[in-house]
Structure 1
Amino acid sequence: MDVDDLLTQMSMATNTLNYQSTLIVYRPGYEPIPYLWKHGIKDGQSVELLNELNGPNARIVRFGNQVSFLNPDMPAHSLQQSHIHGPFAHNLIRNPELISEAYEVILVGKSRSAGKEAWQLRIVSRDNSRYHYILWMDAQSHLPLKLNTLNVKGELIEQVQATNLQISETLDADFAQLEQSGMPQIMHINPPKAFSLNWAINRLPVGMKKVKRDIHRLSITDDVVEYVLLSDGMVDVSVYLQKASFAQPDDVLFTKDAVTFLSRVNDALQVSVIGKIPPATAQRILQMIESVDAPATVNP
């Protein structure tokens, strides 16, 4: 069996089948988090539900390109986006061709996961600057069953494990009761206009690209920041830039749940890098960001 064929079949299965899967997300040193993940086709479009089974019954519902966040502890809202950020990396299981520049996928062979025969694949960072992964895919349905995230030393830092996978010919009852018209309206954020920072990224790790750049106002501090989203297809990295309001002689660096946070003040510019990447890669990205001269104003 060819690797590309397996990835294509996984993408087709993930995007077109009616299924539900109970997932356990485990990170060493932390309590496992259970999720219920459902997918189906309703009125010709893809619908998806991700429900955290512990806590206040937080749910994320997707109708096509509308994702709605329903949490009893927060105001409900919707965003226009093509996917839910769930336990499995969305491009890996839906658009695997988008990870090929940054990662090599190697077929290990047949294995077993969640009581099912499975194909096992290794996903290796081409320049060794990202985490590595091991994926188990159901040999019959080609749906994902398990994903291990390993650091550069080969140590497990996160595991997503399906414990119960069910496939149906019919749409799940939860989707039959949900209507897109009953979801919150899509939120459109109007960024401040009078805000400009002059900076540039000189170089990025292999396969990583700038996919979004805009202005945000942080809800907690009300600070206005410039936001850049970087992606290698497997992981997303957020970069926040703002005018430094105080001197910060040392970097602020910490890692939690495989996510690295790094902040530095340079040339009166505070830059923060956040993503599921090794600290050394966050340092590398930050070092590639520098202030540049403002463009000259041309008088008519």
Structure 2
Amino acid sequence: MMRILALGLTLTAAPLAIADSLPAQTLLERMTEATQELDYQGRFLYQLGGEVSTMEIRHAVIDGEQYQRFTHLDGRLVEVLRLGDELVCLHPNGTLTRIDDPDQNLLSFRQRLSSRIPEQYNVLVDGDGRVAGRATTRMRVAPLDNHRYGYRLWLDNESHLLLKSEMVDASGLAMERVEFVTLDLEPDLGESDFELPRVIAERALETVPASRSESIHLEAGWLPRGFHAAEGDWRRVTAERSPVAAQSYSDGLATFTVFVESVASDDIEEGVSRIGPTVAISRVAAAGERTYLLTLVGEIPQPTAERVMEGLGVEVAARP
């Protein structure tokens, strides 16, 4: 994930004169359209926990397909590109990973956010401000319970692009922050701006249906209100490791995924870790004669993730 810092701009809390003509839902819809349909490039800061990175983004629509390129500008060179339905990761060691993602399961928060905010959130127009020298409309997406995080958003008044976002906990503390420092709305981008460099090695990571020989099913004893399992199960397959079954859950905005893999009794790593808003919890579960490692990864509060894990069970059945 990208890492980005806030510049500490002072934003006013004055009411918006356009609030009546452009209500919150309309603003979010226009933000989503702008993110997907406009050509733009810029630099932004990303902060996650105590880590800060400087990033560059280029986005263009070419022959009806979205092209996007994220480049780390500090530290070792890392790039992530979206070329239509394909996600490509360029690693610091000169290798490349292609991820086939036709259903766009790996989209970022700003692309998941749309005008249809789940009923577990309250959306408000909250004032105005300035980001990267541009006038913005400030909004709040506030959760109605403690099982999900809230967001503060700053939308560009001219283009409706999301110029700054903060994921906040129940106390209002920003756990993740993204903030543009430059923005060009007429970048004149072409396919050459999204070309891949020569790499040492390349591998593919596909999301494919689960094995025909068996079906791994997760039974969730408890989920926060509004969260539902995504349809179908799938496996990530690489040349380096055994298949891993996974099930994603979402309330329409917040998302977490539970990965399930068969492990040997001496190959078990249980524990909890957090980086900013992202929590990862692993525990062991038995199904029949096998031992499975369950790992939940997502941007939900740790107490909520632990409660979900307590109620998870694994069922394995042979496919007909």
**TM superposition score category, shorter chain reference:** 0.7 to 0.9
Residue of structure 2 in register with 1:136 after alignment? 154
Q: Residue 171 and residue 81 in structure 1: after superposition, are their counterparts in 2 closer, same or farther (change >3 A)?
A: farther
Once the 2 structures are TM-superposed, how far is the Cα of residue 198 of structure 1 from its aligned partner? 4.9
Q: CA–CA distance in 1 between the matches of 2:170 and 2:269?
A: 25
- Percent identity for Structure 1 against Structure 2: 23
Q: Residue 293 and residue 40 in structure 1: after superposition, are their counterparts in 2 closer, same or farther (change >3 A)?
A: closer
Q: Residue 83 and residue 223 in structure 1: after superposition, are their counterparts in 2 closer, same or farther (change >3 A)?
A: closer
Residue of structure 1 in register with 2:42 after alignment? 21
The partner residue of 1:275 within 298, 302, 305 is 298
Q: CA–CA distance in 2 between the matches of 1:77 and 1:198?
A: 27
Q: Residue 84 and residue 163 in structure 1: after superposition, are their counterparts in 2 closer, same or farther (change >3 A)?
A: farther
Post-superposition Cα deviations, 1:7-43, rounded to whole Å, max 9, x if no partner, equal 111112112111112111113432x111111111212
Once the 2 structures are TM-superposed, how far is the Cα of residue 225 of structure 1 from its aligned partner? 3.1
Whether contact under 8 Å (2:86, 2:98) holds in the other structure is no
Residue of structure 2 in register with 1:172 after alignment? 189
The partner residue of 1:107 within 125, 139, 148 is 125
How big is the alpha-carbon RMSD for the aligned residues of Structure 1 and Structure 2?
3.4
The partner residue of 1:155 within 173, 193, 201 is 173
Alignment TM-score, normalising by the size of structure 2:
0.77
Residue of structure 1 in register with 2:73 after alignment? 53
Whether contact under 8 Å (1:41, 1:171) holds in the other structure is no
Q: CA–CA distance in 1 between the matches of 2:43 and 2:225?
A: 34
Q: CA–CA distance in 1 between the matches of 2:317 and 2:104?
A: 36
Post-superposition Cα deviations, 1:194-213, rounded to whole Å, max 9, x if no partner, equal 44435412442233222252
> Which fold has the larger relative contact order, with Cα–Cα distance below 8 Å and residues 6 or more apart in sequence?
2
Q: CA–CA distance in 1 between the matches of 2:76 and 2:302?
A: 32
Whether contact under 8 Å (1:56, 1:72) holds in the other structure is yes
The partner residue of 1:245 within 264, 267, 271 is 264
Q: CA–CA distance in 2 between the matches of 1:84 and 1:226?
A: 15
Answering whether residue 81 of structure 2 is matched by residue 68 of structure 1, we say no
Aligned pairs for 1:208-287 (under 5 A) are 208-211=227-230, 213-217=233-237, 222-243=241-262, 245-246=264-265, 252-267=271-286, 268-287=291-310
Q: Residue 20 and residue 229 in structure 1: after superposition, are their counterparts in 2 closer, same or farther (change >3 A)?
A: same
Residue of structure 1 in register with 2:219 after alignment? 200
Once the 2 structures are TM-superposed, how far is the Cα of residue 107 of structure 1 from its aligned partner? 1.3
Whether contact under 8 Å (2:259, 2:295) holds in the other structure is yes
Whether contact under 8 Å (2:213, 2:319) holds in the other structure is no
The letter of the residue matching 1:151 is D
Deviates more, 1:48-57 or 1:261-270: 261-270
Answering whether residue 306 of structure 2 is matched by residue 289 of structure 1, we say no
Whether contact under 8 Å (1:23, 1:163) holds in the other structure is yes
Deviates more, 1:239-248 or 1:63-72: 239-248
Q: CA–CA distance in 2 between the matches of 1:147 and 1:66?
A: 26
Q: CA–CA distance in 1 between the matches of 2:159 and 2:254?
A: 25
Aligned pairs for 1:32-51 (under 5 A) are 32-51=52-71
Once the 2 structures are TM-superposed, how far is the Cα of residue 256 of structure 1 from its aligned partner? 1.7
In structure 2, the residue corresponding to 1:197 is in which secondary structure? Answer: strand
Q: CA–CA distance in 2 between the matches of 1:248 and 1:83?
A: 32
Once the 2 structures are TM-superposed, how far is the Cα of residue 247 of structure 1 from its aligned partner? 8.6
Once the 2 structures are TM-superposed, how far is the Cα of residue 177 of structure 1 from its aligned partner? 4.7
Once the 2 structures are TM-superposed, how far is the Cα of residue 176 of structure 1 from its aligned partner? 4.1
Residue of structure 2 in register with 1:145 after alignment? 163
In structure 2, the residue corresponding to 1:33 is in which secondary structure? Answer: strand
The partner residue of 2:140 within 116, 122, 126 is 122
Q: Residue 105 and residue 265 in structure 1: after superposition, are their counterparts in 2 closer, same or farther (change >3 A)?
A: same
Alignment TM-score, normalising by the size of structure 1:
0.81
Q: CA–CA distance in 2 between the matches of 1:57 and 1:293?
A: 42
The letter of the residue matching 1:150 is V
In structure 2, the residue corresponding to 1:15 is in which secondary structure? Answer: helix
Q: CA–CA distance in 1 between the matches of 2:263 and 2:63?
A: 50
Aligned residues: 289
Q: Residue 295 and residue 101 in structure 1: after superposition, are their counterparts in 2 closer, same or farther (change >3 A)?
A: farther
Post-superposition Cα deviations, 1:202-248, rounded to whole Å, max 9, x if no partner, equal 4422332222522345766x344321122233333120123453399
Whether contact under 8 Å (2:109, 2:253) holds in the other structure is no
Q: CA–CA distance in 2 between the matches of 1:187 and 1:224?
A: 11
Q: CA–CA distance in 2 between the matches of 1:186 and 1:28?
A: 30
